[in-house]
Structure formats: C-alpha cells, structure tokens
A and B are shown apart, each in its own frame.
Chain A
Amino acid sequence: MSACLTKLTLREAVHHLEAGECGSLELVDALLASIAERDPLIRGYLHLDPEQAREEARAADQARAAGRRGRLLGVPIAVKDVLNVRGQPCTCGSRILRGYRAPYDATVIARLRAEGAIFLGRTNMDEFAMGSTTENSAVGPTRNPWNLERVPGGSSGGSAAVVAADEALAALGSDTGGSVRQPAAFCGCTGLKPTYGLLSRYGLVAYASSLDQVGTLTKDVADAALLLTIMAGRDPRDSTSLDVPPTDYTEALIPDLRGIRLGLPKEYFEEAIEAGVKRAIESALEVFCALGAEVREVTLPHTPLAIPTYYLISCAEASTNLARYDGVRYGYRTPDAADVDTLHERTRAEGFGREVKRRIILGTYALSRGYYEAYYGRAQRVRTLIRRDFEAAFHSCDALVAPTTPTAAYRLGERLDDPLQMYLGDIFTVTANLAGIGGLTIPCGFTPEGLPVGLQILAPALGERVLIRVGHAYQSVTEWHRRRPPLAAGGGRP
C-alpha cells in the first residue's frame, strides 16, 4: 500500500484522503520511506524535517476528522530552496545563505497552506537559480532518476528529480529562463511556468525580477491546474502581480482539441536538435492532429538573438539583486574583516560560487558607464522585438508547440566548464520569459538512450487555459507521463 501511495498524483491523493482510504500521516510516512531509500542516490533534497512534517500530518488528520476541509488538506508538497517557508531554511543552494531561516511565508506558500498543504522539504537547485544542471549547487549535484550519470536539468533540478523518483507528489520551482520547464523535460515530469505576474513573487528570492516566475513540477497537467488555481492572483505585496479574476483552471481540462490552432515556430526546428528529441516531437504532432488540432508553421524571426538578450538582462538584474548579500543583515560573513570594504568583498568572494560570480560580473559590466546602452539598453530593445514576434505569431494560432530543449539530459560535468555552451542549451525556453508569456512542458517520449523528451506548449499572456487544455488532451490519450524510472519502481521494472 505505502509503495503505491508515493505514485499518486495530487488529485488522487486528495481523493484517497477524502474517501478515508489513507491518512495524511500514512502518506507522509510513505514519502519519507521513499526518500530514505532513494535520496541517497538522487540527492534531490537539501533539507527535511520529518518530525515537523509528521506532526503537521497528524494535525491535518485530526482537522479532517473534526470536519475541516481544504483543497490540499494533509497533502505534502516539496519546495525549491528559493521560496520562503516560515521557520524552514532557505539557502538558494548557496554558501552565502547557509543557516538562514525564513521569517515569513512566501505568498504562494501561504495560499497553499491555507488549503491545508504540508511543506515536506527543501529541494536542491543551482545556486540562486543560475544554471541549467543543478551542478552549481554549493551542496553538490542532484542526479537524474532516469540515469544517475546524467544531470536532472536546472535550476529546479531537485524538484524535478524528487517528483520523477516518487519522492514527492508534486513540487514548486521557479523559472527565470526555463528553470522549471527544462528540468521537467530532462526528468520526464510536467512543468508549468505561468504568465509573468500571474503568481506573486513575494517571498521568492530574486534572481532577475522582470523574468522570475514561480512554477510547478507535477506528475500530470491536471495537478498543475489545481496548484495554479490555488496560487494565482493579485497580491498587494507584489506590485507586478496581475489583477486577474479568480479562475478555476481545472475547468480547462478538456480532452479534445477541436478548433485549436497550433503553430510550429519554424526557427526552433531549424536549430540543431538531437534526432531522438526530434522524432518524439514529430510523433506528438500526430497525436495533436488526431485530437482535432490544426497544425501550421509560424515564424519567430528574432529567435537567434534570444540567448544574448536573455543573459544580458538576467545578469544585469542579478547583479543588482545580489548586491544585498553583503555579510551584514543575514547569511555568511567572512571572519575578521577590519573594514567594511573588505567585509563586503571577502564575504561575497567566499560565499558565492563560480557561476554566480560570472553572472554578477557580466551583469555589472552590461550596466556600467559606457556599455549600458550597447548591452543592457540594446537587450531591452531586442526584448521588444522578441515580444512582438510572439504577438504576431499568436494572430494565426492559439498556442505554439516546440521541443523544450534541443537535447535530452546532459552527462554530469559535460558543460560545466563551458558557460557559453551551457547558455545555448536554453534557446527554446528563455523566449517565454522575455515575452512574459506562459509555458508548459509535458513528457512526450524517450530518446534511444532511454532519456525523457519534453514537449513545450506556449500560449499568449494569461492563456493558461489553452496551455492546460492542450497538455491535458495530450495526456488523456498518451501514457508517457505515467512512466517511472526503474529506480522509482522499487527495484522492479516500470
């Protein structure tokens, strides 16, 4: 029984709890047992507090017995180490925040908590969400459950890995340039990055504020719709959050695509795409047609400029956001600095890892006198061109479909010493953040090496219902999202 509990989707877990088929404590214990068995290999979690989780589960069971209801009452969720959960550590995978404990809940956490959710543990990530492999974590890399010699993707690699390995029912992540969608693709889970501003960023540690958005890693699209429904909406504490009416996104779980026009961005298919990825995407297109969708080619002509535009803007914003880590108010402080300049320079030198330093330097340069207009200013103008590409494409289609990544999961260490190659792998995901639109990735097959392939769906701003409909329709006639790595089957076959 307990081995089966870890395989449940969120919605199935809710049904089990409501029907009295299991208790929250039983569910939490099943997940803790799975973590104890698998996480020594996967290393997806940075921090767990089993006693606290069990106590909250017991309280949820009692509350249910007393008649309390909640859409996630007693349901455990894993959280990327970048979102503040009151009383828990929040280190962003960085030495500079070691020992930090969150004094408050992020708004998305508070909304899930109000529905009875339990926050099971903190998941590993690239330091400050800067990276595409989770190898930039100060604690060490997470492994891909499908192949332990491969990366889980990043930066939300821990969240993707624990969902894929049945060490969590669902997890939260953050997506600045693909950090939810890319690891979801590499690990074979469902990853949703909503429209910029749909979810509050209050309590999400800032990387690049005009691009950051909280996202979900789940076992299917229906779970993503449930979490989105609970978390979405205006927050007075985040002035960039959008004033949208309360929406039940689960109403978009419609299993057919009649009347839906899907666009294939020509430029995305002109990039060098691994053969196994291309084949899986082509098969998925046939499924969409069978579901009644009309597929047509569209063009996003400024795609070749997306990587420089994204990295200049994100690094510029990061260099200002990360100025707050100065060894004074929180986090690591270098010992024995005699003056304030030394305190700042050494604290940051000893507290930040390589990739964070690289991005701070690149961003500081892009903003410095003499280069501001040539780099940052120009990147902001090109961002307008990229945004307009999408607006034009959405005149003739309801959503775009494309690969999430040009390749399946990298080998550990493969790109670590070549930052430019690492950046170029983000070509299909950074554009949604630059345009501020939502994106959803769903598993659509495997490469011949047995690595998962992700298909990405993009919709106009606030077009989450289209994303959910297209993704759910696909999952209603395919089984890829139900596949589990051999590891997660308790040593047996999937």
Chain B
Amino acid sequence: MEQPQISVEDVARLARLELEPDERVRFQEQLDQILAYFDRIRQVPVDGVEPTAHTQPVYNVFREDEPGPGLSSEEALGNAPQAADGLFIVPRIVETS
C-alpha cells in the first residue's frame, strides 16, 4: 500500500491557516513522520466492522421545541473584537457597484 504524501501547504489552506515558511518545513517533516507511524492502522483488516462515531447507546435525542432563557444580544456581543449597533463587524464581503 503506498503512503499518500501530505502537502502541508495545501492542507493549511483548507484549514484557513497561514503558515510561516519555517513552520511549513517543520510541520511537513513532523507530519510525514507521524503519518508513517500511523500507517499501521491501514494494515489491519476492517472489512465488515461498523465504525464507532459514538460509544454509548444513545440515538435520536429529541426534546420539545420550547423557548427558554438565552444570552441577551449585549452578552452575545460582549466578547466580539468589533461590534456596533447590535452587529458583529467584519471586513466588506460583498462588492458594491
């Protein structure tokens, strides 16, 4: 089985992480080493084995859709790096003509 090569640069872009050049080199080396060790899980037969996403026998947890107390708008915005008029402020996303 061939070992897929991780491209740290491409994956970091997917994860919205800007890396310093020295970080990129270091992570590439370390993640290659980690994945080489992790290859052992690709050698074990798992055909017909159900995946475990959750360990306890709990399924379809429902509750009544009733309103309850929540955070006020001021509390929800209280930790925002930038907020005004009850809104989170972000750089412009939509171009205006």
Closest to B70 in A: A104
Chain A interface, DSSP helix/strand/loop, else mixed: helix
Write out, one digit per residue, whether chain B residues 17-29 have a CB within 8 A of any chain A CB (1) or not (0).
1111001000100
The smallest C-beta distance from B1 to any residue of chain A, in angstroms, reads: 9
Interface assignment of B84: CB less than 8 Å from any CB of chain A: no
Chain B positions within 8 Å of A380 at CB level = 51-53
Bound state CA distance, A48 and B33, in angstroms? 41
Closest to A239 in B: B61
Closest to B36 in A: A420
Chain B positions within 8 Å of A339 at CB level = 91-92
Contact at B41–A305, with CB atoms within 8 Å?
A: yes
Closest to B4 in A: A371
Contact at A327–B81, with CB atoms within 8 Å?
A: yes
Write out, one digit per residue, whether chain B residues 41-64 have a CB within 8 A of any chain A CB (1) or not (0).
110101001111111101001010
Chain A positions within 8 Å of B11 at CB level = 361, 364-365, 368
Bound state CA distance, A320 and B57, in angstroms? 24
Chain B positions within 8 Å of A461 at CB level = 55-56
Contact at B80–A328, with CB atoms within 8 Å?
A: yes
Size class of A's contact patch? 35 or more
Contact at B80–A330, with CB atoms within 8 Å?
A: yes
Chain B positions within 8 Å of A304 at CB level = 40
Interface assignment of A344: CB less than 8 Å from any CB of chain B: yes
Bound state CA distance, A330 and B14, in angstroms? 22
Chain B positions within 8 Å of A348 at CB level = 15-18
Contact at A360–B17, with CB atoms within 8 Å?
A: yes
Interface residues of A in 344-401 (CB under 8 A from B): 344-346, 348-349, 352, 354, 357-358, 360-362, 364-365, 368, 370-371, 374-375, 377-385, 387
Interface residues contributed by chain B, number (CB under 8 Å) = 49
User: Known contacts A340-B90, A357-B27, A381-B49; is A196 also within 8 Å of B79 by CB?
Assistant: no
Contact at A368–B79, with CB atoms within 8 Å?
A: no
Contact at A379–B53, with CB atoms within 8 Å?
A: no
Interface assignment of A223: CB less than 8 Å from any CB of chain B: no
Chain B positions within 8 Å of A377 at CB level = 51
Chain A positions within 8 Å of B88 at CB level = 328-329
Write out, one digit per residue, whether chain A residues 271-308 have a CB within 8 A of any chain B CB (1) or not (0).
00000000000000000000000000000001011011
User: Known contacts A239-B61, A361-B27, A365-B11; is A330 also within 8 Å of B41 by CB?
Assistant: no
Contact at A196–B56, with CB atoms within 8 Å?
A: yes
Contact at B81–A332, with CB atoms within 8 Å?
A: yes
The smallest C-beta distance from A81 to any residue of chain B, in angstroms, reads: 15
Contact at A361–B17, with CB atoms within 8 Å?
A: yes
- Of the candidates A312, A338, A358, A435, which one forms a contact with B31 in the assembled complex, judged by CB atoms under 8 Å apart? A358
Chain A positions within 8 Å of B14 at CB level = 364, 368
- Of the candidates B4, B17, B33, B76, which one forms a contact with A349 in the assembled complex, judged by CB atoms under 8 Å apart? B17
Interface assignment of A337: CB less than 8 Å from any CB of chain B: yes
The smallest C-beta distance from B88 to any residue of chain A, in angstroms, reads: 5
Bound state CA distance, A381 and B20, in angstroms? 36
Bound state CA distance, A333 and B88, in angstroms? 12
The smallest C-beta distance from B55 to any residue of chain A, in angstroms, reads: 3
Interface assignment of A331: CB less than 8 Å from any CB of chain B: yes
Closest to B64 in A: A236
The smallest C-beta distance from A176 to any residue of chain B, in angstroms, reads: 13
The smallest C-beta distance from B45 to any residue of chain A, in angstroms, reads: 10
Contact at A341–B16, with CB atoms within 8 Å?
A: yes
Contact at A103–B16, with CB atoms within 8 Å?
A: no
The smallest C-beta distance from B65 to any residue of chain A, in angstroms, reads: 12
Closest to A386 in B: B52
Bound state CA distance, A377 and B52, in angstroms? 9
- Supplied contacts A236-B63, A364-B11, A378-B46, 10 more A-B pairs, CB within 8 Å: A210-B53, A305-B44, A308-B37, A343-B91, A348-B18, A349-B20, A357-B17, A378-B42, A384-B50, A385-B46
27 A-B residue pairs with CB within 8 Å: A197-B56, A236-B63, A239-B58, A242-B56, A305-B40, A311-B38, A319-B15, A329-B79, A329-B80, A330-B81, A343-B90, A357-B27, A358-B27, A361-B8, A361-B11, A361-B12, A364-B15, A365-B31, A368-B11, A371-B4, A374-B4, A378-B41, A383-B52, A420-B33, A423-B34, A434-B52, A435-B55
B interface with A by C-beta (< 8 Å): 4, 6, 8, 11-12, 14-20, 23, 27, 30-31, 33-34, 37-38, 40-42, 44, 46, 49-56, 58, 61, 63, 71, 75-76, 78-82, 88, 90-93
CB-CB nearest 5 A-B residue pairs: A436-B55, A380-B51, A333-B81, A330-B79, A308-B38
